[in-house]
């Protein structure tokens, strides 16, 4: 019997504890990994919100000392990774706990890589470049969007080159993700909207990706349904714990989908844009989403029809172009409902920036699984539409 190896799909995931209070198990897990001293990675905003103090206290209850590293910017930088790795080694740490959004979690992944290999994080750009096992990673997300807590991606900003680069390896899949909707209470409406739309983009791109399969499709479609149904309501009713849990669940499922199916042109272009202008990642995705759907639709019509149905659009009796228009309009309406009206021009992008942005986007690993093959001019045209 012959088999087509190109249809094989792998699926990687951390151990996941999901639900209210999940964060409180951090000390037990650190002990399980034989922690002597923990490097606790976060950022100033999460620290100010009180989550770092709480996690430090939970570790102390298990007699586990820790050292804080909170000098992480919204797009974690090469030099911050290097500094964190230096602190990790100096203090004799052997386990890393990250609490925060995508930035502290990606920085923590980078710290793990550099502390093990003793080389610049820049050298690990690309796919499967990590040679040795990195320290145990325990992640506690405080946003419902980036899904760095379940993914095999780390995105680092190189400010010297004004670009972001991707590290893709199952070595950076966290050992444990403690996904606790309670931690998202301290997000403001803008961050809730940005991270929620980021999760929606993860799910849509994973579903239409050339790397998709049955193991990722179920997570991607459920994530689209959960976020489409609950995100705008959560922005409107931030005290509603049920809504908060449903959006967090959608974010987690989107992360499991994209970590394994990979992504597409929205993320390739968003990484380039965020690296160049140091913008919030979710906002970059939001500004590009409908334009990339417009470009990609012709190459994944059946898949986009399912996305449209999952978002509540009845495609019966509609032509493909009508389904595409309705899907694009629905995405735009959802963004507006959560307060995201921005365009690239509003954020300071000029026509003269587009060649540079496009050159970086076309080299991003995420472009490889985009459903429609893209050349430099294609990417430039989508950026121009988004202006």
Residue 25 pLDDT more than 90? yes
Confidence grade of residue 9 (pLDDT, cut at 50, 70, 90): confident
What average pLDDT score do residues 137-157 get? Answer: 95
Q: What's the rounded Cα separation, in Å, for the pair 163 and 122?
A: 11
- pLDDT confidence of residue 10: 87
Q: What is the pLDDT of residue 332?
A: 98
What integer pLDDT is reported at residue 294 of this predicted model?
A: 98
Mean pLDDT of 136-165: 94
Tell me: pLDDT of 173 over 50.
yes
Question: How does DSSP classify residue 77?
Answer: B
Residues 80-114: pLDDT tens digits?
999 999 999 999 999 999 999 999 999 999 999 99
pLDDT tens digits for range 371-386: 999 999 999 999 999 9
| Model confidence band, residue 3 (pLDDT cutoffs 50, 70, 90) | low
Ranges assigned E (strand) in 52-207: 66-69, 95-100, 126-127, 137-141, 153-158, 163-168, 176-179
Question: What share of the chain in percent tops pLDDT 90?
Answer: 94
173: number of Cβ within 10 Å? 19
Write out pLDDT tens, residues 235-262.
Answer: 999 999 999 999 999 999 999 999 999 9
Backbone angles phi, psi at 3, to 5 degrees: -135, 150
- pTM (predicted TM-score): 0.95
Query: Which domains does the chain show, CATH number per domain?
Result: 15-184 (3.40.50.1970), 187-386 (1.20.1090.10)
Give residue 118's Cα distance to chain centre.
26
For residue range 197-237, what is the model confidence (pLDDT) as tens digits?
Answer: 999 999 999 999 999 999 999 999 999 999 999 999 999 99
Cross-strand bridge partners of residue 167:
126, 154
pLDDT at 1: 46
Residue 117: burial class (beta carbons within 10 Å; 0-12, 13-18, 19+): middle
Separation between Cα atoms, residue 293 and residue 285, nearest integer Å: 12
């Amino acid at each position: 019997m012959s088999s087509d190896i190109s249809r094989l799909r792998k699926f990687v995931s951390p151990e996941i504890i999901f639900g209210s209070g999940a964060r409180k198990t951090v000390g037990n897990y650190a002990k399980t990994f034989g922690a002597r001293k923990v490097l606790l990675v976060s950022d100033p905003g999460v620290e100010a919100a009180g989550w770092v103090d709480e996690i430090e206290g939970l570790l102390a209850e298990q007699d586990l000392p820790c050292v804080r590293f909170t000098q992480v910017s919204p797009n974690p930088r090469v030099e911050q990774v290097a500094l964190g790795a230096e602190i990790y080694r100096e203090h004799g740490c052997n386990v890393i706990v990250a609490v925060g959004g995508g930035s502290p979690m990606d920085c923590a992944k980078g710290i793990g890589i550099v502390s093990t290999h003793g080389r610049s994080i820049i050298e690990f750009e690309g796919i499967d470049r990590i040679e040795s096992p990195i320290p145990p990673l325990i992640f506690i997300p405080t946003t419902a969007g980036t899904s760095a807590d379940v993914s095999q991606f780390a995105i680092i900003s190189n400010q010297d080159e004004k670009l972001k680069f991707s590290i893709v390896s199952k070595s950076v899949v966290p050992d444990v993700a403690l996904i606790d909707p309670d931690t998202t209470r301290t997000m403001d409406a803008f961050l809730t909207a940005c991270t929620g739309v980021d999760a929606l983009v993860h799910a849509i791109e994973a579903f239409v990706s050339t790397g998709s399969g049955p193991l990722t499709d179920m997570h991607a479609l459920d994530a689209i349904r959960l976020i489409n149904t609950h995100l705008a309501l959560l922005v409107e009713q931030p005290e509603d714990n049920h809504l908060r849990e449903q959006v967090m669940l959608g974010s987690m499922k989107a992360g499991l989908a994209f970590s394994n199916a990979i992504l597409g042109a929205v993320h390739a272009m968003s990484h380039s844009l965020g690296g160049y202008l140091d913008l919030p990642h979710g906002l970059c995705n939001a500004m590009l989403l409908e334009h990339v759907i417009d470009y990609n639709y012709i190459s994944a019509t059946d898949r986009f029809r399912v996305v449209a149905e999952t978002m509540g659009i009845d495609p019966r009796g509609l032509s493909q172009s009508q389904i595409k228009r309705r899907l694009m309009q629905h995405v735009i309406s959802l963004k507006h409902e959560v307060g995201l009206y921005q365009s690239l021009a509003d954020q300071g992008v000029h026509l003269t920036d587009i060649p540079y942005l496009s050159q970086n986007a076309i080299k991003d690993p995420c472009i490889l699984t985009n459903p429609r093959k893209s050349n430099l001019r294609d990417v430039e045209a989508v950026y121009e539409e988004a202006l």
